[in-house]
């Protein structure tokens, strides 16, 4: 990083946050190109991160938009596993094959498959195909670890960061999710659930990080038999026992599993699964207030209505990325800018800075120096729009109260 210098004669702004501004917007285009190519990028590791999503019905556009956010911010190679209805396969191929210049991106398409004896029952559980996620450890037998996300997820920082949480699992933990609610007074599970659920307010399965090797090996405690059951053996008995008592389908089944096996779950903060619920009754995600929103979850259809304009603005900005053809060279420049996260630039060079310090500076200076989040002003590439500063912005400004 010491070799990176910006030769900008009129450059006086000492703070550069690549999440809201490209170097070219600060220094000028020539400076950006020179800096980008002088930046020494470390060799990509051989290991790939694995991302899975399930798409049925009218979820093509949401899924593609989620993938764009994943690719823009991620650094390590990414293998995407897309489970989709047969009629969507050609559409996915037509779009994703145009991204073949991205050397760090590969995808595989799979049909929707459930155990043959109960396929119809599983498919109609909650939303079409949603329960497919329960069977990923049994289908992707050669995948060690996996990040599953719903189609209405948007990444506001590299997948690498949530992927690194796998290293924080203790020896008994097999999966990680965020709480369904932070405030019990407005929680759903603790007020209405007719079945067991994890912790005080349950967990939300829209973002689920899994060590699938451990999931396949583990024998789970349950309330159906004194004998512990493996993952492939516990799902159908759970559905038969609780199908008349569950509301949110496979998420409820996961809550039941981890109610009986709490030692197996790693709970990450709400900023990794930030939903409209976190601000409908006032801001109630403390971690997001302090450190920013890392992953946006637009459930309740908020990307497609006017109830939460900020959520919709982020979605529409990302949806329009890759509308024109991007060369590998151009896209790599954006990744370089991302890898340079947290750099403070001055006339004589650059020095590293912690993300907390950067966030504190931005919150201190935002009124005078930075435009408001989601202001609608975009970078010249439309790949690094200003909405991304919500990554470090106060959720009270992000949500419509």
pLDDT for position 358: 44
d(CA 134, CA 276): 25
pLDDT digits (tens, 9 = 90+) for 196-232: 999 999 999 999 999 999 999 999 999 999 999 999 9
- Report the pLDDT value the prediction gives residue 366, as an integer from 0 to 100: 40
Lowest mean pLDDT among 116-130, 145-159, 266-280: 116-130
- CA gap 236, 119 in Å, rounded: 11
Name the CA dihedral angle for 244, 248, 251, 254, rounded to a multiple of 10 degrees: -20
* CA distances to 182, 206, 274 from 270, in Å: 8, 12, 6
Confidence of residue 380 (pLDDT cuts 50, 70, 90): very low
Express each pLDDT in 284-333 by its tens digit: 999 999 999 999 999 989 999 998 999 999 999 999 887 655 555 555 55
| % of the chain beyond a pLDDT of 90 | 55
Beta strands in 150-281 (DSSP E): 153-155, 175-179, 203-211, 219-220, 229-230, 265-267
- How many other CB atoms are there within 10 angstroms of residue 121's CB atom? 15
The pLDDT of residue 11 is above 80 = no
pLDDT recorded at residue 230: 97
Each residue of 19-48: pLDDT tens digit? 433 333 333 333 333 333 343 344 445 689
Round the average pLDDT of the chain to a whole number and report it.
77
């Amino acid at each position: 990083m010491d070799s990176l210098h910006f030769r900008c004669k009129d450059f006086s702004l000492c703070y550069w946050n690549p999440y809201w501004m490209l170097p070219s917007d600060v220094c000028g285009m020539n400076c950006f190109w020179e800096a980008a190519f002088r930046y020494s990028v470390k060799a990509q590791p051989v290991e790939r991160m694995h991302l899975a999503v399930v798409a049925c019905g009218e979820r093509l556009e949401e899924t593609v938009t989620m993938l764009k956010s994943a690719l823009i911010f991620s650094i390590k190679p990414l293998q995407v596993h897309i489970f989709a209805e047969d009629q969507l396969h050609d559409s996915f191929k037509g779009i994703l094959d145009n991204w073949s210049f991205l050397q760090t991106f590969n995808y595989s398409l799979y049909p929707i498959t459930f155990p043959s004896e109960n396929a119809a029952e599983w498919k109609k559980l909650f939303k079409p195909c949603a329960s497919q996620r329960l069977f990923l450890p049994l289908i992707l037998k050669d995948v060690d670890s996996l990040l599953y996300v719903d189609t209405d997820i948007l990444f506001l920082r590299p997948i690498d960061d949530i992927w690194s949480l796998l290293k924080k699992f203790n020896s008994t933990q097999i999966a990680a999710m965020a709480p369904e609610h932070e405030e019990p007074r407005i929680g759903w599970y603790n007020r209405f659930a007719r079945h067991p659920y994890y912790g005080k307010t349950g967990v939300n399965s829209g973002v689920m990080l899994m060590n699938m090797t451990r999931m396949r090996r583990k024998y789970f405690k349950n309330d159906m038999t004194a004998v512990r059951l493996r993952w492939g053996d516990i799902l159908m008995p759970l559905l038969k026992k609780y199908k008349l008592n569950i509301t949110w389908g496979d998420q409820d089944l996961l809550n039941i599993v981890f109610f009986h096996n709490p030692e197996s779950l790693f709970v990450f903060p709400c900023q990794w699964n930030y939903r409209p619920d976190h601000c409908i009754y006032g801001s109630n995600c403390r971690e997001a207030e302090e450190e920013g929103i890392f992953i946006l979850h637009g459930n309740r259809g908020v990307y497609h209505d006017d109830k939460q304009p900020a959520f919709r603005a982020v979605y529409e900005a990302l949806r329009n990325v890759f509308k024109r053809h991007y060369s590998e060279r151009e896209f790599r420049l954006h990744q370089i800018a991302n890898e340079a996260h947290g750099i403070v630039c001055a006339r004589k060079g650059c020095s590293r800075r912690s993300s907390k310090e950067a966030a504190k500076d931005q919150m201190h200076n935002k009124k005078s120096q930075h435009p408001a989040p989601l202001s609608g002003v975009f970078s010249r590439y439309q790949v690094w729009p200003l909405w991304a500063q919500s990554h470090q912005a106060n959720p009270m400004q992000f949500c419509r109260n």
